[in-house]
C-alpha cells in the first residue's frame, strides 16, 4: 500500500485537509483531543500505524500497517444535534460509493458496515462530542489475506479486485463522497436514505440483534425516512435507532 498521501491531500475538496501521524493509539481519540483543542471542521487524521484501534461496542479494530487505512474525520455540523446520528449513515454511504468508484459493488449492513460480496471491507465508528463529531473509518485496502478466524467475514479491495489501489486514492475518494453526503443531513436526507436502501444487505432477511432493552429478532423491512431500521416482529413493524450484533439468520 502506498504511503505517500501528499497527492491525495492536495486533491481533497475544501474544507478537508490531511494530517498524517506515523503512529496513533486510535485516530478517533487523537482527533477528539485535537477537536477539544479547537481544530476546525474538515480535519482528517490518518495514522500509518494504529496501535489500539477501537470498533463499535468496545471491540478491538486491527489495521495492519500498509494493508488498511485507519483515519478519522472531524466535522462540526451546522445542523441541529438531533440530526448528527444521521452522519453514521452518510459515512457508510460515502465509503460504499468510494469503493464502487474502484469497481466492486458495495453493500451496507445498517447502520454503516460496508460489505463486498457478503464480507466486511470497512467499519465506521462515529463519536459525538461537544460541538463536534468524529467519524472514524477503517478500510481494508491492500490486505491479501486475513487470519483464519476472520477470513470468512473480512475482505479487502485487493482481494476483491486483484488490484493494489494506492491507499491515497482510496482515501481521497472517501473524502470526496463524504463532502457530498454530509450536505444532506436535513430536508434532503431522503436522497441519502434512497441511496442507502438500494445497498442495504439486510432488507428481506430474518435477523437477530441486541438492543439496550435486550435481544430481538424479526424480518428487516427496510430503512425508515429518519434512518432507523424497520423490523417486522409478528404483526408489528418497529423502528430501531440502535441495534448491535446484527446477525442474518435466513
Return the number of the residue (97 or 113) whose C-beta is nearest ligand BTN.
113
Return the number of the residue (32 or 219) whose C-beta is nearest ligand BTN.
32
> What is the C-alpha R_g of the chain?
17
Q: How far is the CB of 137 from ligand BTN (least distance, A)?
A: 6
Q: How far is the CB of 65 from ligand BTN (least distance, A)?
A: 12
Nearest to 78 by CA among 174, 176, 182: 182
Return the number of the residue (113 or 160) whose C-beta is nearest ligand BTN.
113
Return the number of the residue (138 or 218) whose C-beta is nearest ligand BTN.
138
Q: How far is the CB of 131 from ligand BTN (least distance, A)?
A: 20
Q: Which residues in this chain contact ligand BTN in the complex, by CB under 6 A?
A: 26-28, 53-56, 59, 61, 63, 70-72, 113, 123-125, 136-138
Q: How far is the CB of 209 from ligand BTN (least distance, A)?
A: 15
Q: How far is the CB of 186 from ligand BTN (least distance, A)?
A: 26
Residue number of the CB atom closest to ligand BTN: 123
Handedness of CA 215, 219, 221, 222 (dihedral sign): positive
How many Å apart are CA 21 and CA 35, to the nearest integer? Answer: 16
The answer to whether the beta carbons of residues 181 and 90 sit under 8 Å apart is yes
- How far is the CA of 100 from the CAs of 19, 20, 177, in angstroms? 25, 25, 11
Return the number of the residue (28 or 155) whose C-beta is nearest ligand BTN.
28
The answer to whether the beta carbons of residues 123 and 117 sit under 8 Å apart is no
How many Å apart are CA 185 and CA 192, to the nearest integer? Answer: 8
Amino acid at each position: 500500500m502506498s504511503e505517500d498521501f501528499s497527492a491525495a491531500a492536495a486533491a481533497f475538496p475544501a474544507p478537508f485537509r490531511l494530517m498524517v501521524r506515523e503512529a496513533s493509539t486510535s485516530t478517533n481519540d487523537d482527533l477528539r483531543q485535537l477537536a477539544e483543542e479547537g481544530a476546525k471542521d474538515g480535519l482528517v487524521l490518518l495514522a500509518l500505524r494504529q496501535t489500539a484501534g477501537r470498533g463499535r461496542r468496545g471491540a478491538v479494530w486491527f489495521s495492519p500497517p500498509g494493508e488498511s487505512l485507519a483515519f478519522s474525520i472531524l466535522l462540526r455540523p451546522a445542523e441541529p444535534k438531533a440530526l448528527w446520528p444521521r452522519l453514521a449513515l452518510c459515512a457508510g454511504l460515502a465509503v460504499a460509493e468510494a469503493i464502487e468508484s474502484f469497481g466492486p459493488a458495495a453493500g451496507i449492513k445498517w447502520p454503516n458496515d460496508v460489505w463486498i460480496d457478503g464480507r466486511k471491507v470497512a467499519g465506521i465508528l462515529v463519536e459525538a462530542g461537544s460541538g463536534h463529531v468524529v467519524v472514524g473509518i477503517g478500510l481494508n485496502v491492500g490486505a491479501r489475506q486475513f487470519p483464519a478466524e476472520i477470513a470468512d467475514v473480512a475482505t479487502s479491495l485487493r482481494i476483491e479486485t486483484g488490484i493494489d489501489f494506492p491507499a491515497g486514492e482510496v482515501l481521497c475518494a472517501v473524502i470526496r463522497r463524504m463532502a457530498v453526503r454530509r450536505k444532506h443531513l436535513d430536508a434532503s436526507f431522503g436522497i441519502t436514505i434512497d441511496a442507502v436502501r438500494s445497498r442495504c444487505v439486510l432488507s428481506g432477511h430474518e435477523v437477530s440483534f441486541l438492543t439496550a432493552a435486550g435481544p430481538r429478532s424479526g424480518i428487516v423491512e427496510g430503512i425508515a425516512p429518519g434512518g432507523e431500521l424497520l423490523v417486522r416482529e409478528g404483526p408489528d413493524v418497529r423502528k430501531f435507532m440502535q441495534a448491535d450484533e446484527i446477525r442474518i439468520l435466513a
